[in-house]
Structure 1
Amino acid sequence: MSSLSTPRTSIGRDIQGRIYRAGVFGHRPVVPVEPAALEAAARRVMGKEAWAYVAGGAGQHRTVAANVDAFARHRIVPRMLVDVASRSLETTLLGRTLPAPLLLAPIGVLEMAHAEAEYAVARAARSLGIPMVISTQGSVPMEETARTLGDSPRLFQLYWSSDEAVVRSFVERAEAIGSDAIVVTLDTHMLGWRTQDLDLGYLPFARGEGIAQYLSDPTFRALAAARPASTEPTPRPTVAAVRSLLSMVRHHARWGGSASFRESLRSPLPRASVETFLEVFSRSDLTWADLARLRTMTSLPILVKGVQHPADARLALEHGVDGLVVSNHGGRQVDNAIASLDALPAVVEEIDGRVPVLFDSGVRSGADVAVALALGADAVLLGRPWVYGLALAGEAGVRAVLEHLLAELDLTMGLAGVSSIEAIGRDLLDS
């Protein structure tokens, strides 16, 4: 039974007590509880390419740092002698009752962190009833992830491809797997200047990693199959080139149809699929008016992710979105950008409760979640920390990270004199 199986929860005390009782017998938590220790432990086990991709940011990483540092500018002011013996983390989002105001943010190429990738993450999410936002850049097709999730809630994050037929196919598949909403990422219509990835010359998609949604999509496969053969001369092979080719072939054999590894090795399709993906991944000519076209493709709620400016929040409302996510992609797109937490209050004021406002970027703890909720977020998306848990201990690591965060949120609420998510407001903070 899930630790969040009842509306009135004592998850903070339960998880805390479990850790201390295990400590009597010399056992330590599955993954480090302290956020900096969790990050450091994950760095030790992840490959250099995986670490750069997950932990890295744009430019000099000033936005990554700003996202985290922004929380220190908002202090919780606890209230005393309030009856908080019974507390609830339960909330409602998009008409669905959730055990907590927490979702797993969409993160791609999870195979870089752990071989079980989305399978492990989905099992952890299902065990707690926490919604998972499935990434377009998944290492596992969305149908496989959905089967693993069972009846646990899921949303689908969409990168809007330059090929509209691929977009439509992805949306139809997202509907078919029971997604609660489509989350359109706005801030990655081109890749940011990610210095750590560039220093390694490493883009996982160019090796067939993180493109399982495409390789498993019939519309995309037809597009790749129709691609004319390359007429460019083949460079002299290197060890790295051979490894990259074998990676393309392995991924194509697994998700690209019925071909075996040997058949894929002889086929031009693995390389054609990667090249087609790199051509159609995204587009930079979209405007707010294009959301109307997406609306014709689906009856699902549409959320937009990457909003930082209140004027964009207003435009989102004018174009009929059903919710938005205040996010700067975890600092991975624009260096020296405003911290997401600093952007949140003005966006919340502009939206004025008309649609849900979600938040991500910089969340590392349950106290951080409390601050974001106090500043007006309806729910929070957690990113890097659960990937670190995945790298360290697979499903158990993801679950442990989520439990630690929820336990701290529960204890923070109780110690601050708040017994429900609805009761968290600006008066929880000193400014």
Structure 2
Amino acid sequence: RLNYQQTADKAAADFRHAASLLPVDWDKTTAGKLTLGNNNQRINKIMALGYLGKNLLYAGSPLMNQESTGNATYNKEYCRQAAEAFAEALKLCDETGRYELASFDEYESLFYTHKQNNKINGLKEAIFQENLVEVSSRFRWNQIMDYRPKCLITSGIKVYPTANYVDYFGMKNGLPLDDIDSGFDKTYPWKDRDPRFYKDIVVDGTKCALNTKGNLAEDVQYASLYTGGTYRTYKDPEGIRSGYMMTKFCPLLINDWDGYLSGNIMVLSLMRLADVYLMYAEAVAMANDDIYAKVAGYDLTALEAVNKIRQRAGVDPIADKYLVNVDLFMGELQRERAVELAFEGHRFNDLRRWMLFLQYPYNVKLAVEFDRDMSVSDEDRYADPINNGKVQNWRYSTLIERKLSQKHYWLPFKRDDVNIYPEFKQNPGW
């Protein structure tokens, strides 16, 4: 059985060969003109280069390098190759415009469309998306219904972000919440946050439903996420335990009777351009132990790549205090991936490959507990929950602590597979 890096080498050869054969844009090829207007999902050169880079970055990450060499650090050579592949993909994007970062005004359209005649979300930033089969119906009565408590949406197991994950969304000034200079105020915890916070997260007092029948209670129209609030007092799995809800993949105002359920399209981007910029930043920084490093022939440093994503969101660049060394920079890059790619399916593998999966605080899930400050009227709070959302007794409680060990870095193989022949070993610990 090959080790991880040997397997990655074989995959890299396939990705590189595919990139040499594929066009950047099928619409501009003779063959592609036969399916003009329907080529967006077709595999192309930039997709192949993007996955070539991701494959190599994973091979160079601490977990995979440890499995292959016994050394739980970044492998500089794999990171160098990854950075070159990403740079090649990004340069093609710059030169051709095939993929480009969406403006922040269009940010929601990266993740869903609503009542737009089944238009696929993603814009020109989505490089590779999931299967489009039954796209107009598969989330309509399933996943999307899971983002609101039972008092608002009548079925589905409820899905919501944990409080410690939401805390990755720092301040508009670019600083993390726990930075002494961030300006974070537990009395007004939702003021002056990273603008992506307001795109992705629902906080206490936010209007979540239209009272179209005239009989929807106020504490259901407006998110009652304070300790003891209506949204939080429904029993599992029907309530919201963490103190936050998510609105990244669906409109903010939803309820059963306003046509919402029949008009939402959500196709997950398995790779989008923002992700490529962040992977490039990681690869080129770790290949050179230098946050100002760049790939020959591509004029973008690791630091500039991260700040490019922040700039799109209206967040200040990484502060100088986090540019002292590569380790401090990596902490901010990891936080940037958590924020920009929140809930898109990358976090599990990121924590594994960085070998953070077993460590506190990554192995706990927290809720935030707080009381509404009654000096603010409900009318004022509901009118502007961000600026008028004054709270008291801000504190955290533990929802669950995962009891993880080294074996959980890798998944088990089926017993039938490992029994095929003696040399095909089960993963350690399983």
TM-score range, shorter chain: under 0.3
Flag the structure with more relative contact order, 1 or 2, with Cα contacts below 8 A and sequence separation at least 6. Answer: 1
**What TM-score results when the alignment is normalised by the length of structure 1?**
0.23
Higher-Rg member (1/2): 2
